[in-house]
Amino acid sequence: MIVTASELFKVAYGKFAVGAYNINNMEQTHGLFRGGIQSQSPFIIQISKGARKYADKRMLEAMIRAAETIYPEAVFVVHLDHGDEETCYDCIDSGFYSSVMIDASHEPFEKNVEITRRVVEKAHAKGVSVEAELGMLGGVEEDVKVEEGHACLTDPEQAKEFVRLTGCDSLACAIGTSHGAYKFKGKQSIRFDVLEKIQKNLPGFPLVMHGSSSVPKSEIMRINAAGGKLDPSACGVDDNEYLPAAKLGVTKINIDTDGRLVWTRVHREYFRDHPEEFDFRGPGRVFMTEYANFIASRSEKLGSANTLSAVRNSILELRKNKAA
């Protein structure tokens, strides 16, 4: 069942956060849906501009529509991740996406407002939710690259004004996280002081946390033991901070790098242990199971595990009341 981000956030707000995971291929799709069912959790499918180029947007849509049939119990959002204005309009007009992110955070405040407002008007006319971003995360993620020196935290006062002027449905905030596997040096932690101020200025409003992979040391070590050369000092967000952030209004937490690490670890270990093999379906089967287990483990940390039935019933009730 495809739902909008706004519908899902109304149910989740203040209680749990929903994991948002990027997909690029069939194995990730199966693993994500299986993990959601396994943990009885709703989830958000994120499709980036890079994924749309890599797999072709039509292939991605076909896979997700097939998965919806294969896993009818699933409750999920189809979301464009880090879209520019043109890509947002393409997704809105497609009739498939239930949520888009317009990322104009690299623009001056007034320009960001102007662009976001245009996207909101077009999206809301089609019943599509809009996520916007204010502040800039450091790190690298596909087309998004921000040097650490240019990263800046979200200003709580600006956040309140931005939401008022744009009418966006959720706001991605820069609160100390960063994109990619190579996070800030030392222990990285969410700036709960900033998050508390933003929630105080925007009570009840859904907030989003990007760059929130935990980058497990065990994955790094196993990848390197199987021939990888990842920096052992790479570190991510403490996954024990997910739920406290959810209690402060964070309803969506983006987790992408960790899934890539699982993929890399599975394939390196598989072909190390089976050097005679050349069939990609072997590691593919292992990955789908491992990724499902990973998604289920994140659901536990996010507090969304075992909420699926209640979420579905709540959203159906919301739709019934809206129609009445």
Contacts of 265 (CB under 8 A, 6+ apart): 219, 222, 223, 226
The rounded distance, in Å, linking the Cα atoms of 83 and 101 is 6
Q: Which residues of 124-145 are buried (b: 16+ CB within 10 A; e: fewer)?
A: beeebbbbbbbbbbbbebbebe
CA distance 61 to 66: 9
Active site residue 81: yes
Q: Residue 238 phi/psi, 5° resolution? A: -65, 115
Residue carrying the six token digits 């996280």: 177
Distance from C-alpha of 262 to C-alpha of 257, rounded to nearest angstrom: 9
Beta strands 144-146 and 170-173, pairing class: unpaired
Q: Which residue out of 56, 81, 143, 193 is catalytically annotated?
A: 81
Q: Give which of 69, 128, 132 is closest to 96, Cα–Cα.
A: 128
> Exposed, middle or buried, 272 (CB in 10 Å: 0-12/13-18/19+)?
exposed
Residues with catalytic roles: 81
